[in-house]
Amino acid sequence: MKPPRTPPWLREVPPPASHRSALPIVDLPSPNQDERGCPVDMLILHYTGMQSAGAAIDRLRDTDAAVSSHYVVDEDGTVIRLVPEDRRAWHAGVSHWRGHTALNARSIGIEIVNPGHEFGYRDFPVLQLAAVCDLCLSILTRHDIPARNVVAHSDVAPDRKEDPGERFDWRALAENGVGLWPEDSPDIGTTGPIRDAVTLRPVRAALAEIGYRVAPEGGLDPALSTVLRAFQRHWRPEAITGQADDGTLVRLLGVRNLVRSG
């Protein structure tokens, strides 16, 4: 059996929060919040998608914008709290996961500073990734959030969002106790894409079982391609094709099996 992969950003930074003192947090309250209607059982990660951290934080505190998140993690690892975890932040928008909608009520949202695809998408710095990992681990000690419900904004709103995108290291996060990653599902390339309705039926079923909203029947239509791209950004970042190719199918079945195992 192969030893677990140690991501370079964990070799270069202090150990996660579970092994050291509480994560330092800067409080900059946002007025864009209200009461929750149900317990927290989801963690949704975003990127800010703006040209600077300051611009993003200003917008998340602007009453006219009417958006917010619970936390922002800057590129130097600074963690800013905008909304208390027991309050609802306005981060997910129109969204769906595992049969639920209106996900703001049941989720904690983390905005990760990155200009995003529109303004020069780039790698996430090592200190930032380590701080995100620490923060997620801390949140998981306070809320009953299953690994299958640690998701991307693009997972819950694939027709609108791409964040935090294919450069975010979901695999390393999962290897450190946050979310899911199918370790026994190697990349086998983009050969063999399938498009007909009959062969795609189990693909659609697997996507729905993981949590995506997808029609149970149909060929490779634009709606299915959009969901496949969202899946690939999270679990198959080697190639964002929107196709049900060989490499994607291996990862898809790997993630589905992890969801089934609890």
How far apart (Å, rounded) are the C-alpha atoms in residues 79 and 128? Answer: 9
Residue 245: other Cβ atoms inside 10 A: 20
Q: Are 250 and 231 in contact (CB under 8 A)?
A: no
DSSP H/E element including 109: strand 107-112
Q: Among candidates 15, 35, 255, which has minimal Cα distance to 151?
A: 255
3-class SS of residue 88:
strand
217 as an active site residue: the answer is no
Residues 6+ apart with CB under 8 A from 225: 242, 243
Select which of 111, 162, 166, 175 is catalytic.
111
Sign of the Cα pseudo-torsion (88, 47, 167, 16, in order): negative
Q: Which residues are catalytic?
A: 111
